Amino acid sequence: MSAAWLHPAADWSAVVSFLLFVGLTLAITGWAALRTRSAEEFYVAGAGVTGFQNGLAIAGDYMSAASFLGISALVYGGGFDGLIYSVGWLVGWPIVLFLIAERLRNLGRYTFADVVSYRLNQGPVRSFAAASSLVVVIFYLAGQMVGAGQLMRLLFGLDYGLAVALVGLLMMVYVAFGGMRATTWVQIIKACLLLAGASFIALAVLAPFGFDVGALFAQAVAAHGRHQAILAPGLLIHHPLDVLSLALALMFGTAGLPHILMRFFTVADARAARKSVFYATGFIGYFYLLTFIIGFGAIVLLGGSSGPVGGETALAGGFNMAALYLAQVVGGDLFLGFVAAVAFATILAVVAGLTLAGASAISHDLYANVLARGRTSEQAEVRAAQLAVLGLGVLAVLLGLLFRHQNIAYLVGLAFAVAASSNFPVLVLSMFWRGLTTRGAVVGGFIGLAAALALTVLGPEVWRDVLGHAAAPFPCRYPAIVSMPLAFLSIWFFSVIDRSARAMAEREAFTAQQIRSETGLGA
Amino acid sequence: MEIPVTDDLPQRISRNPKYAELVGMRARLAWGLAALVLAAYFGFILLAAWAPALLARPVLPGGTLTVGLGLGVGVILWSVALTGLYVRRANTVFDPLTHALIEESR
């Protein structure tokens, strides 16, 4: 069976849903643009987002196409193994709530570098934070752009390059004109659409089984080529170190993703920040449970001999499209069109959040606070942010073209690994450890960042598969298992050996920082 | 919080015993809950990596649902429940204590 089964029957409904979404979001962008004058409006929507709205927006930012299409596809292909990813992506959230969210809101205004540089030397610390944020944003963006290009090509028969350029253009319009307000609403709308679409698929899958999950699993075991094995750990487990390293990256990387951290500055206070994590965790957890049902539904409805595609590996467009095929089976062409548009909206929303975070690292940290040393007008800073958005948009399109053949989930996994090895250690130590100094944060942070990048290149995925060497010097696909502890160790070491007068003053300043961080006084 | 920060307010807050109580209580809860989530998740991963046969066992003899599925879904629900617990405790205990601390120290 070829791609003709999915396409072009889906064409018009997908195009109509897609145009509706784009029309609505552009209207919101226009509305937001009229209100976006100040830097506070541009970066954090005037800090007027409610906890519930922010919870939805965080969920919208986090439930990327990689997780919707990717996890259902992993479950479809391997059953249980997909659960390891779902769980890993979720457990980062409690950590964000317990250790990061409230303190972040109390100490910062626009970027997480505000928090890290609170009592440290602005120039070097912000330069480090901006550099490592940009690396994370670039990996993450690349993954999303590749997903967008592949999805558009499959659904609309659109040329890959054209699809990537279209995503880049739309995202530039949202972010450059509408700033955080437009980005937030794009994410909220997308989260609602995605949750509704995924709920419908899951319900439609469960209905014939009388909503008995056990019966669904029993049927899936019968339909899948690996039978009972799909309900137990399987393929991934041949490389336990890989799984452990990925687990570390997923768990701690979430607390180091600049676009996620930035969302906590859009609410009024620490109380709203904490509420937003609770809502977000609930939505995201619910969503991951749904992707699991969707994956098993795909095994039953697509994988068996009676399924429309015949065999379990015969999906045109690859495994990643399993959720879309399933949407068509349970809801017809109209529903497929809706889900396709939702999948696309998902990518747009995530890409917009990433771009805004990357742009603020450039304009707020590098331009306004490092280059201009705080002596710049608000207008100039917003203008710089808008220019940075345009630059990042062009870069995102180029990345989409460059990484065309890379695995989406791998790129996103790398973004998490880098975030867990650079941003996260520096951020958490700046909040909790009196002894942290500028030298420790900057040298140690850069060591973590460099180690994460170098070990990725030396690992099997790049060294062996891309560069064509025989064996990789570093055995793991993901670097976090070494680079994250190394970052903590380096930050500690270069802080404790720092005996400069500046370092003494920085340790002194911890008390005042802690009072503000714990009580919100002055925030 | 719309409270003007006078020069010595931070000093008076840091000397107030309620401040140490707040910081200590929140730190114990936050790190304790973080440890519980970590233990659940890494327990799950380590079992999946080194005891896959255990996870492949059905929960009920002859049933389809395996121990692994139950644990995986359990870790997700556990995480959501613990975030709920933290938020509840922060709303009912930490916020009033913070408020009282600032009022007293003014």
According to the model, what pLDDT value does residue A377 have? 87
Tell me phi and psi for residue B58, to 5 degrees. Answer: -70, 145
- ipTM score assigned to the predicted complex: 0.90
Classify the phi-psi angles of A43: left when phi > 0, otherwise alpha if psi is within -120 to 50, otherwise beta: alpha
Lowest mean pLDDT among A75-84, A268-277, A506-515: A75-84
Domain ranges across chain B: 9-105
Residue from A408, A201, A438 nearest A298 by CA: A201
Q: In A, which residues are within 8 Å of B90 by CB distance?
A: 102, 271, 274
Average pLDDT score over residue span A343-358:
89
Average pLDDT score over residue span A464-493:
90
Which residues contact residue A100 at a Cβ distance below 8 angstroms, ignoring those fewer than 6 apart? A255, A261, A264, A427, A428, A431
According to the model, what pLDDT value does residue B65 have? 81
Domain ranges across chain A: 3-89+105-237+260-407
- Minimal-distance CA residue of chain A relative to B66: A231
According to the model, what pLDDT value does residue A236 have? 62
CB-nearest partner of A281 from B14, B79, B95:
B79
According to the model, what pLDDT value does residue A358 have? 95
Residue B68 and residue A233: Cβ atoms within 8 Å? yes
Residue B79 and residue A285: Cβ atoms within 8 Å? yes
- State how far residue A520 is from chain B, nearest Cα, in angstroms: 7
CB-nearest partner of B56 from A93, A232, A269:
A232
pLDDT digits (tens, 9 = 90+) for A265-290: 999 999 999 999 999 999 999 999 99
Residue A518 and residue B63: Cβ atoms within 8 Å? no
Residue A231 and residue B68: Cβ atoms within 8 Å? yes
pLDDT digits (tens, 9 = 90+) for B57-101: 888 877 778 888 889 999 999 999 999 999 999 999 999 999 989
- Joined together, the tokens standing for residue A476 give 């793991």
Dihedral of alpha carbons A501, A502, A506, A509, sign: positive
- Joined together, the tokens standing for residue B72 give 């995986």
